[in-house]
Amino acid sequence: MVELLERKGLKRSFALGLILIGIILFLGGIIYILIHQRAANPTSAPLPTQVANLDLVNRSFGRQAMAEVIHLHNQEFLLTSASVGRYGHEHSITIWTTGAPLRIVANRLVIEMRDRIDKTDTPFNPIGERRHGNRVIYELTGLGQKHFYFQSANLIVWMAADEQLADQALVELLEFYP
């Protein structure tokens, strides 16, 4: 009798385990579909209206901005939002902001970008890292400008700025993207 009850208990535990696995797979499938739908139809990522006393004079967002990011990297990414903003009439500052579906994905993309810049031939020269709270800001030079990139929650922000505006712009960006 005890063996029968133990077997029934094992069968019940096994059945409940299968049901739980089914629920997890079902929810995982829904999440996968939603993420890929958002990636296929990216929304706009936030951009400040002014940086270093320069107004936002040109911007693209959603699919158009995503196409620009893909063109720059010659590679597609799993991103759910994108915006590109150009500041000042001579485009003295440009900001590319992209959103990943999750914070951990954004972190992985930033690490991959850092590693790729370090290991491949790019027009960018890494010159250091800065810490701001528990974030790392990567600093580079190249193409006649100073560049910074960093993660803010699930966003990845890259800024190119004329040398004399770069540090002030970075301070403002770190406030805008906490």
pLDDT greater at residue 110 or residue 21: 110
**Closest by Cα among 86, 84, 111, 88 to 98:** 84
Whether the per-residue pLDDT at 17 is higher than 90: the answer is no
Average confidence (pLDDT) over 98-115 = 94
Rounded CA-CA distance 141/8 in Å is 68
Percent of the chain with pLDDT over 70: 85
**Residue pLDDT, tens place only, 34-53:** 555 555 677 899 999 999 99
Give the length of the chain.
Answer: 178
Average confidence (pLDDT) over 75-89 = 90
Whether the per-residue pLDDT at 3 is higher than 80: the answer is no
Whether the per-residue pLDDT at 1 is higher than 50: the answer is no
Average confidence (pLDDT) over 55-74 = 91
Whether the per-residue pLDDT at 66 is higher than 70: the answer is yes
Residue 34: per-residue pLDDT: 57
| 50-176 has CATH 3.40.1000 classification | yes
The CA distances from residue 64 to 34, 67, 83, 84, in Å, are: 21, 5, 8, 9
Place of tokens 């208990």: 9
- Helices marked H in the chain: 2-40, 63-73, 103-119, 163-176
Number of H helices and E strands in the chain, helices first, is: 4, 8
Rounded CA-CA distance 17/176 in Å is 46
The string of DSSP codes covering 154-177 is TEEEEEEE-HHHHHHHHHHHHHH-
